Amino acid sequence: MCQVDNNISTWVRIKDSDIYHSFINSPTAIVSSVILFIIFFCSFFVEFITPYNPFDPSSLSLMEAFTPPSWTEDGLAKFILGTDGQGRDMLSTILYGSRISLIVGFSAIIFSLILGVGLGLTAGYFGGKYEMIVMRLTDVQLTVPSILMALLVDGIARGLISREMHDEMAIYVLIFAIGISEWPQFARVSRAATLVEKNKDYVSASTIIGVSNLIIMFKHILPNILRPVLVIGTIGLALAIIAESTLSFLGVGVPPTTPSLGTLIRLGNDFLFSGEWWITFFPAIFLVILAFSINLLGDWMRDTLNPRLKK
Amino acid sequence: MSFLKIQNLCVDYPMRKETIYAAKCVNIEVNKGEILGLVGESGSGKSTVGNAIINLIDAPGKVSSGSIILGDLNIHENSKNIVKYRGNKIGLIFQDPQTSLNPILTVGEQLIETIQTHLDLTNDEAKHKSIELLKEVGIKDAEKRFYNYPHQFSGGMRQRVVISLALCCEPELLIADEPTTALDVSIQSQILELIKRLTKERNLAVILITHDMGVISETADRVAVMKSGNLIEIGETKEILTKPKETYTKSLVSSVPPTNKKISRFVIIEKENKDNQINNIKILNRWNKKEIIEQDLVKIENLSKSFDDNFFTENSKNSVMAVDNVSFEIKEGESFGLVGESGSGKSTIAKMIVNLFKPSSGDIFFDNVCIAKIKNKLEMMKFRKQIQMIFQDPYSSLNGRLKVKDIISEPIKLHNPSISSGDLNEYIFDLLESVELSQKSAERYPHEFSGGQRQRISIARALATQPRLLVCDEPTSALDVSIQAQILNLLKDLQEQLNLTILFISHDLPVVRQMCDRIGVLKDGKLCEVANTEDIFLKPQHDYTKKLLHLMPKIESIYN
């Protein structure tokens, strides 16, 4: 295996790798990543895909409100998934909504990843009292249910920020609220991995050479602990998206003017018993598919990247 | 008619990219009352043959053709056969006695379970038999020890229990897969004696799988040499070791460090290596070569280190003295050897010298400066630059996420931040060439290299700061003998041409004899004696040194 040619491209290397091979042979991984790709693509380029802008009041017509999905008796062909109470096209609203959900989910997970990995890595590396304080802090954090934590943050933010500002700031508050409740698992995993890595000889070798602690941590240890962190990061992403929807459903998330999936489910919920089931059903099913696909992809990643599970 | 007959055994591992042939048409016969040594380097397929006999080959591997005949039965004809034979007719001894016993069952329970699986005995009879067995393998107080758990036994005792387990159903064939590799020399010789005795007393056929030629020469009656799945040579031990026919066997025998004399270089026979002349070291012209001054480069005074296993009771009596009041000097330009069994504190001393651990008491002077007193960051860097270390495990000592050139350039850039990139590249290439690696290696990642090549990268990295002292902590104990010979040659060349001072740590006495000018013998953290190498080997003073020398497996014993 030592005769690997230097001139081969990165693409060939990727194609030759075990991860690529495992991906190609796993139908779940392929299906879920295709679904995710479609969702991501449609959500981020929604302006160019849908003919409607649900947030432009001039384009809405109340006459078309409560149109059922196109395949039902009263459905209209131009509204595939029907419209809501204000005549907004459901499909475009969902895509706009999922964009908000994805942005919040990604930002929250990146926030907690940086916080958690930073604390976990330094705690594992330096040890001693600092480690003890950080790890007890994560223990405390883990005893507070994440939704409760998020509600608490949201409540405090409402108290601190004026009402007009709040709608603008809502998305940042949400990101912070979800991020702050998810960092302990990143801290735990990265601390455990750091404890393993820091006793390896390459770390000793760097110390002997005279490399500073900071460089050892970020240049040598960090790349070696990223695998498990990325796996829980992926699964955490699904959790963050669900948390966002839950908060929005409870009414403490993003405001109805820029609805996320959770907000849409809540708004639709009011009409559920009067027969307009599609207004809440489609955003809900969309959320399930999104979270499920991310989880499946995360599971596949965990199995592939974990050397102990190799057959 | 031989007892075990392996005919044309082929074992394949079909992998994604290629099929690996772990054994190719191997023919081996073993008689009763005979020990057959199966030697080879890692990956030669010696364990595969052993596992094939008891049908324990891991998926996706499979026996693709050939037959294994035990007595008069073909054991692979019917997969049900093998279940009956395992433990019953074939006994197994594994390498690591730590993991081959179940920690939650007492030794007695494990013996009784095995006995009752195969023999129709009542509990009392089985217990009686187990105690007999424990006595037979040399466990004192067998009646009491019967109720002990595996963790209450020492490593050597545990291996005895494993042997008694292997013997409990009166097998006729015993397969021992590296039975002494995880054990210290003194215990190794006891276990080997035990296996030899049992072979005679019980008229067993034994297959002893090992990489250690010394072990083979002292125990095996016949030897089979394997290389990459092929059986190279098989014959009487004396015949093979003294008059090997095949080139591979010759090179294998010549790479084993002799125990009775000091040689200047290892002879390397393999064709692809033109290693027999001293190579020219490219970095010599950049090296700021220091003339050797008659002085002690390292001076260690009353050094002690204790480890507390309890966080809360810092002054507890339970603390383990890893190093206990050790004093010695290393002269500039010499290579000093530290030998001792596992747990003797030799690695701890090395880590204190390179300032990875702080001593509990005592002082280390490097070039007449006390290491513990260096507070200034700049001076610390100066100190770091002068001492470098090579580690035992070539797999964990290189960061797998960095390219070789980044690994080597790190120390260069750190100690010479103003170096131009052209100069840096040239320096990296020179370093790589000095350790006999091609320039192309620079662009690769560590996982593309073998253990020996990785160790060369480690050496290149250590040389990058132009150190005066090179601490080598068991640099070859994870490597095969032929690779070990190459690495030791390389270290010798480097030392000679660069005037390096080397602290060489090893448990392997023959290797130390080849490498070192002076030797210190450590036992349980205490220094037993320090003397010139030849004095240690020819007229040892301390009882422990005498014992170690007596017990070390000697490949030369075959000549007598």
Contacts of B7 (CB under 8 A, 6+ apart): B27, B66, B67, B68, B69
Rounded mean pLDDT, B441-468: 90
**Nearest C-alpha in B relative to A215:** B410
pLDDT at A311: 44
How confident is the model at residue A227, as a pLDDT? Answer: 87
Residue A62 lies in a domain: no
Q: How far apart are CA A83 and CA B467, in angstroms?
A: 76
B461 interfaces chain A, CB cutoff of 8 Å: yes
**In contact, A170 and A255? CB cutoff 8 Å:** yes
Q: Which residue in B has a C-alpha nearest to residue A207's C-alpha? A: B356
Q: Is residue A80 part of a domain?
A: no
Nearest C-alpha of chain B: how many angstroms from A21?
A: 9
Residue B1, pLDDT score? 61
3-class DSSP state of B233? strand
Query: How many whole angstroms separate alpha carbon B188 and alpha carbon B173?
Result: 21
DSSP string, A215-279: HIIIIIIHHHHHHHHHHHHHHHHHHHHHHHHHHHHHTSSS-TTS--HHHHHHHHHTTGGGT-THH
Q: What is the mean pLDDT of residues B411-435?
A: 89
Q: Which tokens go with A168?
A: 């603008």
Q: What letter would DSSP give residue B306?
A: E
Mean pLDDT of all residues in chain B?
A: 85
> What is the C-alpha separation between A50 and B255, in angstroms, rounded?
75
Residues in chain B: 560
Question: B118: exposed, middle or buried (C-beta count within 10 Å: 0-12, 13-18, 19+)?
Answer: middle
Closest-CA distance of chain B to residue A122, Å: 18
Closest Cα of chain B to A191: distance in Å? 18
- Give the residue from A8, A23, A132, A201 with the most B CB atoms within 10 Å of its CB, the best one to mutate: A201
pLDDT on residue A213: 92
Report which DSSP code applies to B196.
H
Q: Is the N-terminal amide bond of A223 cis, ω within 30° of 0?
A: no
Say yes or no for a CB contact (<8 Å) between A204 and B398: no
Chain A closest-CA separation from residue B377 CA (Å)? 10
Max distance between CA atoms of chain B, in angstroms, equals 81
pLDDT tens digits along B83-130 = 777 777 888 888 887 788 898 999 999 999 888 888 888 899 999 999
Closest Cβ–Cβ partner in A6, A208, A220 for B384: A208
One digit per residue, pLDDT tens: chain A, 311 residues?
334 444 556 777 777 777 888 888 889 999 999 999 999 999 888 888 887 777 777 777 777 777 788 787 777 777 778 787 777 888 888 898 899 999 999 999 999 999 999 999 999 999 889 999 999 999 999 898 878 888 888 888 888 887 777 777 888 888 998 998 889 999 999 999 999 999 899 999 999 998 999 999 999 999 999 988 988 999 899 999 999 999 888 888 788 778 888 888 888 888 888 878 888 889 999 999 999 999 999 988 888 876 655 54
CA distance B29 to B9: 12
| Domain assignment present for A284 | yes
Average pLDDT over residues B512-539: 90
Residue carrying the six token digits 């005592």: B362
Of B384, B393, B453, the CB nearest to A209: B384
Between strands B320-331 and B296-307, the pairing is antiparallel
pLDDT given at position B136: 85
Measure in Å the smallest separation between the Cα of B412 and chain A Cα atoms: 9
Which residues in chain A touch residue B387, judged by CB atoms under 8 angstroms apart? 208
State the average pLDDT over residues B367-374.
87
Contact B37, B237 (CB under 8 A): yes
The model's confidence at residue B319, banded by pLDDT at 50, 70 and 90, is low
What tokens appear for B8 in the block? 């044309």
Contact A269, A285 (CB under 8 A): no
Distance CA B438, CA B28 (A): 40
Would you call B16 and A204 a contact, using CB atoms and an 8 Å cutoff?
no
Say if CB A115 and CB A183 are below 8 A apart. Answer: yes
For residue B463, what are its two tokens? 């040389």
Q: What is the number of domains present in chain A? A: 1
Residues whose CB falls within 8 Å of the CB of residue A156, separated by 6 or more in sequence, listed in order? none
Q: For residue A89, what is the DSSP state?
A: B
CA distance A267 to A259: 9
Domains of chain B, earliest start first: 282-288+295-306+321-553 (3.40.50.300)
Phi, then psi, of A185 in degrees rounded to 5: -70, -35
CA B85-B223-B204 angle, 5° bins: 35
Locate the DSSP E strands across B493-555.
501-506, 518-523, 526-532
Q: What angle do CA B187, B190, B196 make, to 5 degrees?
A: 140
Residues of B in contact with A211 (CB under 8 A): 410, 414
Chain B positions in Cβ-Cβ contact with residue A311 (cut-off 8 Å): 59
Question: Which of B58, B387, B410 should we substitute to test contact with A (largest number of A Cβ atoms within 10 Å)?
Answer: B410
Residues of chain B above pLDDT 70, percent: 92
| Residue B341 burial (C-beta neighbours within 10 Å; 0-12, 13-18, 19+) | middle
Locate the chain B residue with the closest alpha carbon to A311: B59
| Contact (Cβ atoms closer than 8 angstroms) between residue B349 and residue B516 | no
- Are A204 and B391 in contact (CB < 8 Å)? yes
Taking the whole predicted model, whether its pTM rises above 0.95 is answered as no
Q: Is residue A3 one of the residues assigned to a domain?
A: no
- Please indicate if any CB of chain A lies within 8 Å of the CB of B403: no
| pLDDT recorded at residue B388 | 93
Contact B316, B310 (CB under 8 A): yes
- Of B126, B106, B124, residue with least CA distance to B115: B126
Which of A6, A21, A207 shows the shortest C-beta gap to B443?
A6
pLDDT at B314 over 60: no
- Nearest Cα neighbor of B229 from B95, B68, B40 is B40
Distance, C-alpha B159 to centroid of its chain: 18
Task: Nearest chain A residue to B383 by CA: give it.
Answer: A210
Contact call for A210 and B392, based on CB within 8 A = no
Pure H helices in B22-106? 46-53, 79-85
Of the candidates B389, B448, B450, which has its C-beta nearest A205's C-beta? B389
Q: How far apart are CA B456 and CA B453, in angstroms?
A: 5
Domain encompassing residue A256? 26-50+87-309
Give the residue ranges of DSSP H helices in A73-89.
none
Domain assignment present for residue A60? The answer is no
Q: Which residues of B touch A21 (CB under 8 A)?
A: 16
Rg (CA), chain A: 23
CATH number at residue A144: 1.10.3720.10
Alpha carbon separation from B276 to B229, B485, B494, B512 (Å, rounded): 28, 11, 15, 21
Query: Residue B238 pLDDT > 80, yes or no?
Result: yes
Tell me, yes or no, whether A61 lies in a domain.
no
The whole-angstrom separation of Cα A120 and Cα A118 is 6
Which residues in chain B are closer than 8 Å to A18, comparing Cβ atoms?
16
Q: Which residues pair with B38 in a beta bridge?
A: B209, B224
| B444: contact with A, CB 8 A cutoff | yes
Q: Which residues of A touch B (CB under 8 A)?
A: 1-2, 4, 6, 18, 21, 200-202, 204-211, 220, 223-224, 311
pLDDT in tens, B127-166: 999 998 898 888 888 888 899 998 888 888 888 899 888 8
> Residue B386, Cα to own-chain centre: how many angstroms?
29
**Chain B residues whose beta carbon lies within 8 Å of the beta carbon of residue A223:** 399, 401
Q: Which of A20, A209, A226 to mutate to test the interface with B (most CBs of B within 10 A)?
A: A209
Token pair 């433990």 is found at B87
Q: CB under 8 Å to B117, separation ≥6 — which residues?
A: B87
* The predicted structure's pLDDT at residue B340: 87
Query: CB-based contact (8 Å) between B271 and chain A?
Result: no
Residue B53 clears pLDDT 60, i.e. is over it: yes
Query: Which chain B residues in 368-387 lie under 8 Å from chain A, judged by CB atoms?
Result: 380-381, 384-385, 387
Q: Quote the percentage of chain B above a pLDDT of 90.
A: 22
HEC string of B109-161? Answer: HHHHHHHHHHCCCCHHHHHHHHHHHHHHCCCCCHHHHCCCCHHHCCHHHHHHH
For residue B312, pLDDT over 60 is answered with no
Residue B413: which of A221, A203, A224, A210 has the closest Cα?
A: A210
B388 vs B458: CA distance, rounded Å: 10
Look-up of token digits 């530290």: B338
- A269 falls within a domain: yes
The pLDDT assigned to A5 comes to 46
Contact (CB<8Å) B396/A200: yes
Distance from CA of B59 to the nearest CA of A (A): 8
- Residue B350, judged by CB atoms within 10 A of its CB (0-12, 13-18, 19+), counts as buried
Contact A201 B392 (CB under 8 A): yes
Q: Which pLDDT belongs to residue B486?
A: 87
Q: State phi, psi for B437 to the nearest 5 degrees.
A: -115, 150
- What's the one-letter identity of residue A275? G
CA nearest to A211 within chain B: B414
Whole-number Å distance between alpha carbons of B335 and B331? 8
Side-by-side strand order, sheet with B62-70? B19-30, B4-14, B62-70, B73-74
pLDDT of residue B289: 65
The pairing of strands B335-339 and B518-523 is parallel
- Cβ–Cβ contact B59 with A under 8 A: yes
| Neighbouring C-beta atoms of residue B319, cutoff 10 Å | 15
User: Which chain B residues are within 8 Å of A220, Cβ to Cβ?
Assistant: 399, 401-402
Residues of B in contact with A202 (CB under 8 A): 396-399
Pairwise CB contact (< 8 Å): A202 & B399: yes
Q: Compute the distance between CA of residue B447 and CA of residue B399 in angstroms, rounded to an integer.
A: 10
- Minimal Cα–Cα distance from B89 to chain A, Å? 30
Contacts of B385 in chain A (CB under 8 A): 210
Strands B230-236 and B62-70, by their bridges, are unpaired
The amino acid sitting at B271 is: K
